[in-house]
A = this chain, B = another copy of it.
């Protein structure tokens, strides 16, 4: 049995890219950018009116405040020219400022009588003009490698004409569960049976990261497990297992994994829940195996504590430690790192967290009350208001 910190380090040390792939813009949402994105032209590409009104040439030494309307500069039209300082063009938001004009005044600040405009407010040269290249000159990096693509980034990608975007590949994942007591979710279980839930919960958690996965469930028969696991290892970048790694008589997985030449990095970590965690890699298949214990909370905790940071690291994303203030004091009397179900919230600008009273690691229903886990060192005492590491399991804001 190793310490949590050692286990975490061993897991993160195996992180590496799954490769990169071009996806169409419409599918790029949520992916991690694998190429820098440059401004393909100046932004804005021309001196652009930011208001509807008139454009004219203002000369501080000889200020004019009345103008004859010459033409209308519409957005999406070619650039007009102004032929006299006593003339103006009407101009629409998004239109090119006419050649010879240096100022835009909005309709709200003028009056128009018989084609003659009178400006009713003080004027500053250059007002209401968004100058060419003032946001970004051509060639500037707009988005760096490693950016998570969300709505704002999609806007930038569309603006620079990226109809295809190079992103980090998603891993191919098999969710592998064992256990004779488990029946499918659409079955009526006998008294001694329960429905499978872990694989479905983890499948949903992966979907929140944009990753599809395959569910495989095998009875506690060594040969069947061997054959199914061999296929899963060959076909997948990652095998996420729940159950079958404890000390039970039918916990065949550690043995079968060894038979299949998956190299064990460690088995069992000084933590609760999730102690029987088995972790290793298959060199030839380049498959990483996360063997989580079968209790719902154990699998769910280890998925968020180990797998998600590892996944982020594979994608080149930073792993950030989030800290929250404990609402109540807490004593961890055991020599194991604890991951307690908890609910974090922002109250008056402070990030706080309250531990959810659960009923052991078999208690699935208390997970719906939590939005994460707090991480508490072995044999330690946390005072109320003390800071603690918080590991989110769902969106907290937004």
Contact = CB atoms under 8 A, between A and B. Distances in A.
A182 interface: yes
Given A147-B368, A247-B107, A323 B349 contact: yes
A44 B155 contact: no
A157 to B, nearest CB: 8
Nearest to A92: B248
Contacts of A366: 135
A214 interface: no
Binding site secondary structure of chain A: loop
Contacts of A45: 189, 191, 194
In which size bucket is the chain A interface?
Answer: 35 or more
B300 A155 contact: yes
A367 interface: yes
Interface stretch (A255-263, A278-286, A356-364): A356-364
Interface in A342-380: 344, 346, 348-352, 359-368, 370
Nearest to A78: B192
A202 interface: yes
Contacts of A370: 152
24 contacts: A25-B185, A48-B362, A50-B295, A74-B249, A75-B179, A75-B181, A77-B180, A93-B294, A96-B192, A151-B208, A151-B393, A152-B300, A152-B367, A154-B201, A156-B197, A158-B197, A159-B195, A161-B186, A163-B185, A323-B348, A323-B349, A348-B387, A395-B397, A396-B398
